[in-house]
Amino acid sequence: MEFWSGFLANIAAAALAVILYIVVQWFLGVTDITIGYNWRFDGASDNPTNLRPSFDIRNRSRSKTYFLANIAYLRGNKPVAPFDNKSVWGTELKPGTIMPLEAAPVPGIASLKQCLGIEVHVRLQNGRLFWLQGVGPGQLRMGGVQRFAFWLRNKIEKAAFPLE
């Protein structure tokens, strides 16, 4: 009986270690990229032309490089402009970098008021998708778990405790 209790305790400890590893990897994957944006334009604010998103992309990972794929402009689930597959495609996000990046002007968008109702979807080449809402400077739309994960990562990084 003593053998079996020790054996089951070791199996439980190994399972707990594997689960903890998976949770930490998920945590790092969820919080390693942040994207903010705002709308830029040419001309005066009462008559803007060439409206386009301007991104602030941060790769907080210490070891993973990511590549951008495309941008979609949606209202609800309906496209309001063609996908932008050229202006950011293949842009490399090296580990630990902050990158300002401007997309190409969005065809069919003629006013700043139209911009505020558009969701900008940025996709990485690994398939990960970011939804950005255009109210003021754009911020990542997050759920409660993801918001908590970003808060926790910020606290850990301020304490200078490396996770990777």
Residue 163 belongs to a domain: no
Quote the pTM value: 0.72
Per-residue model confidence (pLDDT) at position 138: 46
Q: Identify whether residues 17 and 67 lie together within a single domain.
A: no
Provide the residue range defining the domain that includes 11: 1-31
**Is there a single domain that holds both residue 20 and residue 45?**
no
- Residues 45 and 3 occupy one common structural domain: no
Say whether both 21 and 95 belong to one domain: no
Q: Which of 2-16, 26-40, 125-139 has the lowest mean pLDDT?
A: 125-139
Distance CA 72, CA 131 (A): 9
Q: What is the CATH number of the domain that holds 54?
A: 2.60.40
- Structure token digits, residue 68: 């951008």
> Within this chain, do residues 10 and 74 fall inside the same structural domain, yes or no?
no
Judge if 12 and 64 occupy the same domain.
no
8 Å CB contact between 76 and 92? no
- Separation between Cα atoms, residue 97 and residue 61, nearest integer Å: 9
Q: Do both 103 and 133 map to the same domain?
A: yes
DSSP conformation letters of the chain: -HHHHHHHHHHHHHHHHHHHHHHHHHHHHHHSEEEEEEEEEES-TTS-EEEEEEEEEEE--SS--EEEEEEEEEETTEEEEEEE-SSSTT-EE-TT-EEEEEPPPPTT--SHHHHHTPEEEEEETTS-EEEEE-SSSBEE---HHHHHHHHHHHHHHHTT----
In a domain, 84, yes or no: yes
21 and 37 together in one domain? no
* Number of domains making up the chain: 2
> Do 27 and 107 lie in a common domain?
no
Q: Domain check: are 15 and 85 in the same one? A: no
Average pLDDT of span 130-143: 54
- 164 within domain boundaries: no
In total, the chain counts a number of residues equal to 164
Average pLDDT of every residue of the chain = 83
Residues 88 and 76 in one domain: yes
At 23, list the tokens: 């949770």
Amino acid at 42: D
Alpha-carbon span 146 to 27, nearest angstrom? 9
- Which range has the worst mean pLDDT, 3-7, 61-65, 132-136? 132-136
33-60 pLDDT, tens per residue? 888 888 888 888 778 888 999 988 888 8
Whether residues 137 and 73 fall in one domain: yes
Residue 8, pLDDT score: 95
